[in-house]
Amino acid sequence: MTTRRLVLTRSAAVIGAASTGLLLPEIVRAQSDKVRVGFMLPYTGTFAQLGVAIENGFRMALNEQGGKLGGREVEFFKVDDESNPAKGIENATRLVQRDKVDVLVGTVHSGVQMGIHKVARDSGVLSLIPNAGVHVATRAQCAPNVFRTSFTNSQPTLALGKAMMERGHKKAVWITWNYAAGDEAFEGFEKSYTEAGGTIIKKLGLPFPNVEFQALLTEIASLNPDAVACFFAGGGAAKFLRDFAAAGLNKNIQLYGSGFLTEGVLDAAGDAANGVLTTMHYSDALDTPRNKKFRLDYAKTFRMQPDVYAVQGYDTGLLLIKGANAVKGDLSNKPALYAAMNGAEIDSPRGKWKMSAAHNPIQDMYLRKVENKENKVIGIAAKAVADPATGCRMG
C-alpha cells in the first residue's frame, strides 16, 4: 500500500468513526442523535385499524411537544406484526438489533406481545405496551423496562358482572376468541359475575381471528340465556355485532362485552350495535374539556374519529415524554428514566390515571351504552381498578 493510499484510508476511518459517533463522548452522542422509536403494530388483518389509531395517537402526543422527546429529534421505524404470534420474536428482534431502537412501542395482540416481551427482557430495551392486555407482562414476568399504558385483559370485565346483575341478567353465555385475551377477559368476567350471584351456563369459543359465528349463534339461541357477554375486537367485533343482530338475538338477549366490542366499529356495525352495554376505561362521550380537546385535535389532524386505541397510543406518548423530559433526553440514564415513569400520573382523555408499581394503569371503568353510533357513558362501573399484579417482583 502506498503512503498516499494509507493516509486516505486512515482519514476515511477517522471520518467514519466520527460520523458514527465513536469519537464523541457517550453523553454527547446520546444527546445529539435522534431518539429511535420502533412501532411494532398490526397494519394488516382484523386489528389493522387498531394499529393505525395507536400510531396516530402516539404521534399526536409528540407533535404537541414540537415532535421532540426531551429536546431530541425522533426517528421512527415500523414493522407490521400482522397480529401473528409466530413472527413476534423475529419482528421485535429486527427492530432492536437491526434498527437499534431506543424504545419499542407495541403491540395490540397478546400472543405477539409475548414475543416482544421476551426480546425486551433479554435485551433490556424500553418496551411500551399501548394495548395488549396479556396478564403476565405486568404480573409474574413484570420488568423494570416494560410499561403498559392500556389495561390487563381482565380489568374491563372485572367491572362487568355487577352491572349485568343490577339489570337482572342472571344467566349468561360467554363467547370469545380462544387465545390469551379472550381467556383472560373471561377470568375477570367469571370472577365479577359469579361473585355478584350470576350463573355462567356455557362458555363458547372459536380460534382467532375466525369470524364464522353462525353455529355458535344457533347454539346461543337454543340455550336462551338472559344475556351474552363477550370479548371481540376490531374487524371481528363488527362482524359479531352484525351477525348477532341478523340472527335476531338482539331482540330478547342483552349483549354485553369488554368495551373493545364497540370501539372503532360503530360505523361498520350500524344499527346492529344499538343498545349494547360494555365496560371500558374510555368513552367517546366523556364530557370533559380534556377529552373534547383531544377529540377535536385528533379529528382535525387525522380526519377520523379517535377511539380507545388512539387514546392508549396518545397516553403512551405522554408517558414517554414524561420519562424523556426527566432525563433531558438521555434515555441511557435508565434508573432516572424508569423512576420518572414508575408512579407517573397521566392526564389522559380517559381521565387521570396512575401507573402502578407493576407498570399497569390504575383506572376507572365506565359503563357505556351504544346509542346512535356513540358509546354513551351511563356511569362509572368501578373506580380505580388495579390489576392484582400477582407474582410481580421488580428487579
Q: Does 38 bind ligand PHB (CB under 6 A)?
A: no
Q: Tell which positions 129-148 bind ligand PHB, by CB under 6 A.
A: 131-134
CB of residue 237 vs ligand PHB: minimum separation in angstroms? 8
Say whether 222 sits in a helix, a strand or coil: helix
Q: Taking contact as CB under 6 A, which single stretch among the options 63-71, 102-110, 240-248, 363-371 is the one that binds ligand PHB?
A: 102-110
Q: Does 181 bind ligand PHB (CB under 6 A)?
A: yes
Cα separation, 79 vs 64, whole angstroms: 24
Binds ligand PHB by CB under 6 A, chosen from 60, 92, 104, 109: 109
CB of residue 382 vs ligand PHB: minimum separation in angstroms? 18
Q: Taking contact as CB under 6 A, which single stretch among the options 25-33, 107-115, 193-201, 312-320 is the one that binds ligand PHB?
A: 107-115
Handedness of CA 330, 352, 237, 184 (dihedral sign): positive
Q: Tell which positions 305-334 bind ligand PHB, by CB under 6 A.
A: none
Number of Cβ atoms within 10 Å of the Cβ of 97:
12
Q: How far is CA 253 from CA 167, 169, 171, 205, in A?
A: 12, 9, 10, 18
Query: By the 8 A CB rule, do 153 and 135 touch?
Result: yes
CB of residue 177 vs ligand PHB: minimum separation in angstroms? 9
Detail the DSSP E strand segments found in 222-280.
227-231, 254-258, 277-280
Q: How far is CA 364 from CA 34, 218, 232, 392, in A?
A: 36, 35, 21, 22
Query: By the 8 A CB rule, do 230 and 256 touch?
Result: yes
Say which residues have a Cβ less than 8 Å from residue 175's Cβ, sequence separation at least 6. Answer: 203, 204, 205, 216, 220, 228, 229, 230
Q: Does 233 bind ligand PHB (CB under 6 A)?
A: yes
Hey, what's the cell of 341? 415513569
Residue reference for cell 414493522:
79
CB of residue 62 vs ligand PHB: minimum separation in angstroms? 23
Nearer to ligand PHB, 112 or 227 (CB): 112
Determine what percent of the chain falls in helix, strand and coil, rounding each to the nearest 5. 45, 20, 35
How many chain residues bind ligand PHB (CB under 6 A)? Answer: 11
Q: Does 213 bind ligand PHB (CB under 6 A)?
A: no
Nearer to ligand PHB, 310 or 337 (CB): 310
CB of residue 43 vs ligand PHB: minimum separation in angstroms? 15
**x-or-dash string of contact with ligand PHB, 240-279, rule CB under 6 A:** --------------------x-------------------
CB of residue 110 vs ligand PHB: minimum separation in angstroms? 4
Binds ligand PHB by CB under 6 A, chosen from 62, 108, 163, 318: 108
Number of Cβ atoms within 10 Å of the Cβ of 201:
14
Nearer to ligand PHB, 110 or 138 (CB): 110
Hey, what's the cell of 135? 396478564
Residue reference for cell 395507536:
54
CB of residue 57 vs ligand PHB: minimum separation in angstroms? 14
Which residue lies nearest ligand PHB, judged by its C-beta? 233
Nearer to ligand PHB, 157 or 254 (CB): 157
Q: Which residues bind ligand PHB (CB under 6 A)?
A: 108-110, 131-134, 153, 181, 233, 260
